[in-house]
Chains A and B, each alone.
Chain A
Amino acid sequence: MPINYYIFLALALFSIGVVGVLTRRNAIIIFMCIELMLNAANLLLVAFSKTHEATASLATSGSDAQIFVFFIMVVAAAEVTVGLAIIVMMYRNTHSIDVNFLNRLKN
């Protein structure tokens, strides 16, 4: 399967993520959109890794990118815990998960 399909899919996912982050005000949805962007990146990493595996000169090179994906997933998981905790705290304080309520740092 040509690599193009993966790229287009990843691009679509990433764009959806970006637009979601920019347009939505619900913190959880923004969070999900960020995940979406991360996953788009993961998808590309895996796809390129698979494509270039045959021509790789080093023995380990075929699996490098896939290891990075695991890293990203772990970081994303950690991020989710912290992020969700923040959202919970935010809900407790403001009874809302609208990010526009978070402009209090100003002034």
Chain B
Amino acid sequence: MSNTLQIVWLIPFLPLIGFLINGLGRKQLSKTLSGFIGSSVILASFLICVFVFFQVKNGNTAIVHYFDFINTASLKVGFDFQIDQLSSLFLLIITGVGFLIHIYSTSYMHDEESKDFAKFFAYLNLFVFSMLLLVMGGNYIIMFIGWEGVGLCSYLLIGFWFKDNSNNDAAKKAFVMNRIGDFGFLLAVFWLIAKLGTVNYGLHGVASGSEDIGVLTILYSKLSTFDITGITLLLFVGATGKSAQIPLYTWLPDAMAGPTPVSALIHAATMVTAGIYMIARSNILFTMAPFTQCVIAVIGLATALVAATIALQQNDIKKVLAYSTVSQLGYMFLALGVGAYTGAVFHVMTHAFFKALLFLGAGSVIHAMGGEQDMRNMGGLKKHMSITHITFLLGCLTIAGMPPFAAFFSKDQILAAAYESNPVYWVVGVLTAFITAFYMFRLYGMTFLGKFRGTHDQEHHLHESPSAITLPLIILAILSVIGGWIGIPEVFMHGGDRLEAFLEPVFAKSNALVASLHPTHELSHSTEYALMAVSVVGALIAIVYAWNKFSKYQKSTAEETGLGKILANKWYVDEFYNAIIVKPMQSIAGFLNNVVEKKGIDGFVNGVGKAVNYSSRQFRLLQTGQVSAYMLLMVVATLILFIIQLFL
């Protein structure tokens, strides 16, 4: 196929080159050079992504086949890239936000030794490579390659400062929990192979020369409802691992052990949205499984609420943001669960902007504070860091859902869809939004308002960050403000929801299926205005309350009690998992090792040997050396033979 899209292999390939150069030459490269290489490859792929995006916008979508990854009689998997509306949008987010974060890192990581600095960029590039592979993959296997690849990079980057074992523990936890998710993902893929014999998506036709029409087009005839429900549930298990949903969310807050740019890129903007991408990619399957959708919505909501409540009591600035990420991801799953795929993707986009902004802002603060992350020791930073302060404030307003900032539109879209599906979803969702507004302004207040509570030494060092840090902040702040304007709801502006129109081909089948099952009942405009008003006013009240309460925050040593204590301890979920999974597993393993293996099986084997030894020692005693004893035995034996001969 001679298509201009044939060049898309360059998009992941450039970061891979960056990874190889930085990885292999980490001892030779200077910091400037490795930072330059690391960032420029991402910029180059961003530019290609922009080109690809406009191609796609003009209707040029394709599945590009490069070579056969697996080609046997039983399974054919091509190394294919799928370029369509959904993937091109994600490509833009990944490379765009990724580029800004690379720029940011050149300054943020500058205190590292030059070989560690190069290593950091190598890992970041490898991450972008894997993430691009995940998004561009033309079938579930290529997606899974990226899926595991981002998990690996996340592992490597969380444990970047590997001398501290708590970082390594966090990295390991992240990887293992992701593996639990992969367990589900893989089972789903096996199920698909067993039933359909293919792993291609097949939504937009197929690679040329292939007869394989793909999962999403033939599933009607070959999959029962049970199959579809099972497969989608298992895929969702995969998504809960990667996108940190209940019950597998606890790794994400721990993952904050990694450098802040990593938290921004991997654990806020891109990797954690992989689960949402995967479900949006397989949307038709999920639309056909109402039960799974219900599960997703409930889990998403529960995660959003639980994480938001935990965020209320965290004092580590990055932990608050981490729980807020978990909570926002919960929103996206709510959207997927109620069938608002566009809403989910929309929120992924806006979230990438504002959460990257918030993390980078937090990084800027931490940088200025000399590594301090505890908000109780901050305060009053407004005076010292004006750019960081303003951009951070914009980020907070965005996440709180204030119009006309980006998240207002995406959140509104999700909540409206939730209301349409089930008003209870909406109530919980709005409640979570209020809590979100509250804890974000608690964070803002404790950090930027009031008096400085740190040491004099720290106060002396307070400074605005260099431009490599502030520039990405400014760009992201602008995006956070205006990023929502591509999805303005119908009620405000006819044809304002350009995102919906753009993504329409991807979700067309799902939409058609929904339309055929349920008679459409659009929300009336008045209801929609009312819903918006409630969420905006509620959030505003929360903001004002938090502003008042925390702008004069004083450090207190009093222990939290009651609910506060439970929240500060994150509902004791880690302890709970420890008690029901980790400890029993360890003790079962110990039991198997010490009792079954050593005493049981090996004991049996050795026992056979011992028995032979023992019995020969006993038989040896017969050899007394007494002639008469031998004679006696001989006579007795002869007599016995005699008797046998005579009588038997």
Chain A–chain B contact at Cβ < 8 A = yes
Which residues of A pack against B, CB within 8 Å? 18, 21-23, 25, 99-100, 102-106
> Distance (Å) between the CB of A13 and the closest chain B CB?
15
- With beta carbons under 8 angstroms apart, the residue of B623, B624, B626, B631 that contacts A21 is B631
User: B625 to chain A: which residues have CB within 8 Å?
Assistant: 102-106
CA distance A99 to B625 in the complex (A): 10
User: When each residue 629-640 of chain B gets 1 if its CB lies under 8 Å from chain A and 0 otherwise, what string results?
Assistant: 001100100000
Q: Is B628 an interface residue (CB 8 A)?
A: yes
How many A-B contacts are there with CB distance less than 8 Å? 25
What is the chain B residue whose CB lies nearest that of A104?
B625
User: B635 to chain A: which residues have CB within 8 Å?
Assistant: 18, 22
Q: Is B627 an interface residue (CB 8 A)?
A: yes
If A18-B635, A22-B635 touch, does A100 touch B623 (CB 8 Å cutoff)? no
CA distance A105 to B631 in the complex (A): 16
User: B623 to chain A: which residues have CB within 8 Å?
Assistant: 106
CA distance A29 to B72 in the complex (A): 90
CB contact list, B609-628 vs A, under 8 A = 623-628
User: Is there an interface contact between B627 and A22, defined as CB atoms closer than 8 Å?
Assistant: no
User: A21 to chain B: which residues have CB within 8 Å?
Assistant: 628, 631
16 A-B pairs (CB sep. < 8 Å): A21-B628, A22-B628, A22-B632, A25-B628, A99-B627, A100-B626, A102-B625, A102-B627, A103-B624, A103-B625, A103-B626, A103-B627, A104-B625, A105-B625, A106-B624, A106-B625
Which residues of B pack against A, CB within 8 Å? 623-628, 631-632, 635
User: Is there an interface contact between A22 and B631, defined as CB atoms closer than 8 Å?
Assistant: yes
> Distance (Å) between the CB of B271 and the closest chain A CB?
77
CA distance A99 to B626 in the complex (A): 8
CA distance A87 to B625 in the complex (A): 17
User: A25 to chain B: which residues have CB within 8 Å?
Assistant: 628
Given pairs A18-B635, A21-B628, 19 additional interface contacts (CB within 8 A): A21-B631, A22-B628, A22-B631, A22-B635, A23-B628, A25-B628, A99-B627, A99-B628, A100-B626, A100-B628, A102-B625, A102-B627, A103-B625, A103-B627, A104-B625, A105-B625, A106-B623, A106-B624, A106-B625
User: A102 to chain B: which residues have CB within 8 Å?
Assistant: 625, 627
CA distance A18 to B627 in the complex (A): 13
> Distance (Å) between the CB of B537 and the closest chain A CB?
104
User: A100 to chain B: which residues have CB within 8 Å?
Assistant: 626-628
What is the chain B residue whose CB lies nearest that of A21?
B631
User: A104 to chain B: which residues have CB within 8 Å?
Assistant: 625
CA distance A103 to B627 in the complex (A): 7
What is the chain A residue whose CB lies nearest that of B632?
A22
CA distance A18 to B631 in the complex (A): 9
User: B631 to chain A: which residues have CB within 8 Å?
Assistant: 21-22
